Structure 1
Amino acid sequence: MKVKQAQAIRSKLLFTLMVMLLVLLTAACGSASNSNANTSGNSSNAAFGNPAQTEQNASTTNAGNTGSNNTNTAADTNAQATVYPLTVKDVTGTELTFQKAPERIVTLLPSETEVVYAIGAGSSVVGVDDFSNYPKEAASVTRIGGMDADIEKIVSLKPELVLASYTMGQAVVDKLRSLGIQVYATDPKTYDAVMDKIKQIGAILDKSSEAEAVAKHMADVREQVASAVKDAPKPNVYLEFSPGWTVGKGEFLDELITLAGGTNIATNQGWYEIDPEAVVKSNPEDIIYASMTLKEGEKNPILTAIETRPGWSTINAIKNKQVFEVDQDPLTRVGPRLAEGLLEVAKKLHPDLIR
């Protein structure tokens, strides 16, 4: 009898322990599920945290949700998938809402073409401007014209998104919008703004992970250059990107010279025609000029002008043979290859520090 009672007691204890264990496991699973749900919700918001303000003032919000807890941005630190519907605001303050990632894209500038391909969405590009020459895959895409884009051709391509610069194509942007076409316009003025633009486009196209990788490479190159030239002398630099034209304050090329360890002698705002005598007076130690597409045997007209302008032979850069050509496209396009342009300029100004 005692043995049977002991067995019964042991059975009841075992049963009780099993029930308690089951309750604990159930509670734990419920807690983990809630925790994961909260984490997922927080990640969805954190994925589009609060980026630094840029020249573009680009921002994103979930459509229909404008509260502070639902604000999205392109800065996707954790490379989360985009949550649609997604509403973004471009440089003009225009809001665009996307129900899904656009699958038919037209680009009106080479820089925008390069951004889309760089983040892995090249297969969605159905139209590009006449000057888009990189990457090579863009060569087979339908051309829609230059600065005066062919509106009818763009419309015929049925784009779900057009990428453009408002400053360089205001009339085209306004016309396309009047026809009900979604146009995301940008005008980045700084290196950071270019990276933010890439991340914003990445968010729109559900390519945040790829866009983050591109932006990180750009940031890494900038850090490499900044570290190399931080203690170096900063030579006075004259930049001529087109025959007779230079760029001054408030533009990304001015910042590029500074980042590369130089001091831009152009002190006016924006892009402007040069005063040759003012350049002589500034007496730059280095001259940087952009390459151009030339016929075989033809000399770059920028270099010809530099070498033949009256009085320019007295400039230190020319006397000391510190006149350098750099690849025009990475230098002047506000896209992923701007990092290459920065690195090349830095190598010309400080060849002993950057190889």
Structure 2
Amino acid sequence: MIMSRRTAPLLLLLAALLGASVLSGCATRDDDAPPEVGTGFPLEVTPPGGAPLKFDREPQRIVSLSPTATETLFAVGAGRQVVAVDSQSNFPEGAPHSRLSALTPDPAAIGGYAPDLVIVSADAGGKLTTALDKLGAKTLVLSDAKTLDDAFAQFSLLGKVTGHPSEGEDLAKRTRGDIDKIVADTPKPATPLTYYHELDQTFYSLTSATFIGGVYSRFGLVNIADGGDPHAAGGYPQLSAERILKADPKLIFLSDTKCCGQNAQSVGARPGWNTLSAVKSGTVVALDDDVASRWGPRITDLVRAVAAAVTKAGK
């Protein structure tokens, strides 16, 4: 249609009003509306130890088969894009829990959620990746973090691939800053404190070569499980009651509280354990099993618990 000089201004005014209405609607978008399209797409990322992964657009249907990744996804603002999480992903409470297994992932069951992105912590041989690729889903493998820096890098990566790059970077920066401050503000004893970290009642422990062991090292703590080689047994050796009693750790950290009901009282009731310095001084620390086994945003909770224990033991 050809506009006359009289109709042109009216049409232009109408277009302006409609534009203002659209902008107003965007500004008052309801919280239940679909997430806005992120920035930086298309993009290509290379996970540590993995092959380059290309994304043409922001993923809108994410399945997480990693409890740590689940926590991080919600922390960077990608929760609305998550359509299912595995049976062990118990945080946050609002996550869409399912019966999907992270240990034995079933491509057909995963495919039932029509995902465009699936996040796992391992994929031996790449079989799951191949199967999901045939279903049109990309697979992002995020291996266990070995250090705090590895964890921070995963925060940033998950923010980037989900269309929340600034949120991912901010989470990494804030978590790093919080941990650095907590460590710096914690008094350091003149003599380094020894500790024992318990994974279960058969005395499996971890060494300073592991991710959690690295957290303890930030406080200058000495791990009785290290022995002559902290890398032995993959960093997860089984100790004996005799070895623990002989080492007499000044701190005992329990990460078998939820699974196995362990606490300061049950530890003190073990044969001979009432003689341990940690038991006598009240520095047996009951940790949250999940927080003490993941490298997600709640790692600061673990750091605070360690800081409190070090402060108490150093008095």
TM-score bucket of the superposed structures, by smaller chain? 0.7 to 0.9
CA distance in 1, matches of 2:271, 2:78: 50
C-alpha contact 1:126 1:142 (8 A) present in aligned 2: no
Corresponding residue for residue 174 of structure 1: 127
CA distance in 2, matches of 1:303, 1:324: 7
CA distance in 2, matches of 1:348, 1:116: 30
Match among 267, 274, 285 for residue 306 of structure 1: 267
- Deviation for aligned residue 1:343: 1.2
Q: 1:104 to 1:130 in 2, by over 3 A?
A: same
Corresponding residue for residue 273 of structure 1: 238
- Deviation for aligned residue 1:197: 0.6
The alignment partner of 1:336 has SS state of coil
Give unpaired runs (5+ residues) of structure 1.
Answer: 1-80
Equivalences for 1:155-174 in 2 at 5 Å? 155-166=111-122, 170=124, 174=127
CA distance in 1, matches of 2:212, 2:237: 13
CA distance in 2, matches of 1:124, 1:177: 23
C-alpha contact 1:107 1:129 (8 A) present in aligned 2: yes
CA distance in 2, matches of 1:334, 1:99: 28
Match among 281, 285, 288 for residue 327 of structure 1: 288
The answer to whether residue 43 in structure 2 is matched with residue 86 in structure 1 is: yes
Q: 1:144 to 1:301 in 2, by over 3 A?
A: same
The alignment partner of 1:106 has SS state of strand
Amino acid at match of 1:276: A
Corresponding residue for residue 145 of structure 2: 188
C-alpha contact 2:250 2:313 (8 A) present in aligned 1: no
Amino acid at match of 2:196: Y
CA distance in 2, matches of 1:346, 1:282: 22
Q: 1:105 to 1:229 in 2, by over 3 A?
A: same
The alignment partner of 2:59 has SS state of coil
Corresponding residue for residue 239 of structure 1: 197
C-alpha contact 1:240 1:302 (8 A) present in aligned 2: no
Equivalences for 1:32-47 in 2 at 5 Å? none
Equivalences for 1:1-355 in 2 at 5 Å? 82-138=39-95, 140-166=96-122, 170=124, 174-180=127-133, 181-186=137-142, 187-229=144-186, 231-233=188-190, 234-243=192-201, 244-267=203-226, 268-269=230-231, 270-290=235-255, 292-293=257-258, 300-301=261-262, 306-351=267-312
Q: Using structure 1 for the length normalisation, give the TM-score.
A: 0.68
C-alpha contact 1:120 1:207 (8 A) present in aligned 2: yes
C-alpha contact 1:129 1:149 (8 A) present in aligned 2: no
CA distance in 2, matches of 1:284, 1:352: 11
Q: What do the CA deviations read for 1:298-325 (whole angstroms, capped 9, x no partner)?
A: x714767733544433321123332111
Q: What do the CA deviations read for 1:150-184 (whole angstroms, capped 9, x no partner)?
A: 33210221222111212xx637x632434414221
Of 87-96 and 334-343, more deviation after overlay is shown by 87-96
Q: What do the CA deviations read for 1:211-251 (whole angstroms, capped 9, x no partner)?
A: 12211221122121221136434311111133332111321
- Deviation for aligned residue 1:82: 4.3
CA distance in 2, matches of 1:302, 1:352: 18
C-alpha contact 1:260 1:343 (8 A) present in aligned 2: no
Aligned residues: 266
C-alpha contact 2:107 2:131 (8 A) present in aligned 1: no
C-alpha contact 2:254 2:262 (8 A) present in aligned 1: no
Amino acid at match of 1:120: G
Corresponding residue for residue 28 of structure 2: none
Amino acid at match of 1:328: D
The alignment partner of 2:120 has SS state of strand
Q: 1:212 to 1:230 in 2, by over 3 A?
A: farther
CA distance in 2, matches of 1:255, 1:265: 14
Q: 1:259 to 1:94 in 2, by over 3 A?
A: same
Q: CA RMSD in A?
A: 2.6
Of 236-245 and 144-153, more deviation after overlay is shown by 144-153
Q: Using structure 2 for the length normalisation, give the TM-score.
A: 0.76
C-alpha contact 1:113 1:132 (8 A) present in aligned 2: yes
C-alpha contact 1:151 1:176 (8 A) present in aligned 2: no
The alignment partner of 2:205 has SS state of strand
